[in-house]
Amino acid sequence: MAFVPFDDRDGWIWMDGDFVPWREAKTHVLTHALHYGSSVFEGERMYSGEIFKLTPHSERLHRSAALLDFEIPYSVAEIDAACKETCARMGLDDCYVRPVAFRGPEAVSVSAIHNKTRVAIAVWDWPSYFDPETKKKGIRLEWAKWRRPDPATAPSASKAAGLYMICTMSKTAAEQRGYSDAMMLDWRGYVAEATGANVFFVQDGALHTPPIDAILDGITRQTVIELAKAKGIEVVVRHIRPEELSTFTECFLTGTAAEVTPVSEIGEYRFTPGDLSLGLMEDYGRLVRRQG
């Protein structure tokens, strides 16, 4: 299938309260967010006509903006409604949903006191992030050279666009070397997360996953923890050192895009997708299609 640039597609984008034709959804080159990274976003999935955990995503969008010291001029309920309306306007019932809030072009300065907040929502078809057969076998990751920042130096709890630059560099480098993704450490050297997904490990029938002091508290991560506990699986939230990966038998990533994706390799460490990883992958798939 031919690649179609995202600025040259048919359809509609919700922007600042109105629908505009897809190709006309533009902002100026001197927009504050482009120069200073003052932008937050969400990644959501609609399955069979329902956006999975829509309100938690909209609530996190508001929290992310607050961490960057700006206020979204639409309520959580209004963002929820706009996401649903955009999917309906595009005629999609299985798609990816991208709300984004950013500071506009009123002033180009480090100071943003005069900049208004813009909000847009776009949706598009997006199949599985990783090939289904590859997922079952487990994807390969390398170690990223960049680390998740100390919360004292960056708003790491925010889903802020600027924080993803190191993710882009890490994932691009990994793909250039034949890997699917990269695993990042935090500023202290503990295992953190992949470039756009949280990570879980299996040891003696229990799940181990890093705490949220240096990672984004993923909504899929929260969901998988709920699914595991409902099945009686112990979930251990703790700091994990890289050398401990030799003691784990299974590994998988979680995220809106990744869903639940088994991992077969992280650098020098190997894992075999097993009953726990594959079972949770299936459980999550059933949950998002059922929508309660």
Q: Enumerate residues 6+ apart whose C-beta is below 8 A from 276.
A: 202, 205, 207, 233, 250
Provide the β-strand partners of residue 98: 122
Q: Enumerate residues 6+ apart whose C-beta is below 8 A from 97.
A: 42, 43, 44, 45, 46, 51, 83, 86, 87, 121, 122, 123
125 to 8, 26, 109, 207: CA distances (angstroms): 15, 21, 37, 32
Secondary structure class of 90 (helix, strand, coil): helix
Strand 259-266 with 139-148, pairing = parallel
**Helices and strands, counts by H and E, the chain:** 7, 16
Residues 188 and 51: their CA atoms lie apart, in Å, by: 36
Report DSSP letters for 236-256, one per residue: EE----GGGGGG-SEEEEEET
Name the active-site residue from 159, 171, 229, 231.
159
**Whether 159 is catalytic:** yes
Which DSSP letter does residue 116 get? P
Summarize the chain as % helix, strand, coil (round to 5). Answer: 30, 30, 40
126 to 93, 98, 278, 284, 291: CA distances (angstroms): 11, 12, 22, 18, 19
Residues annotated as part of the active site: 159
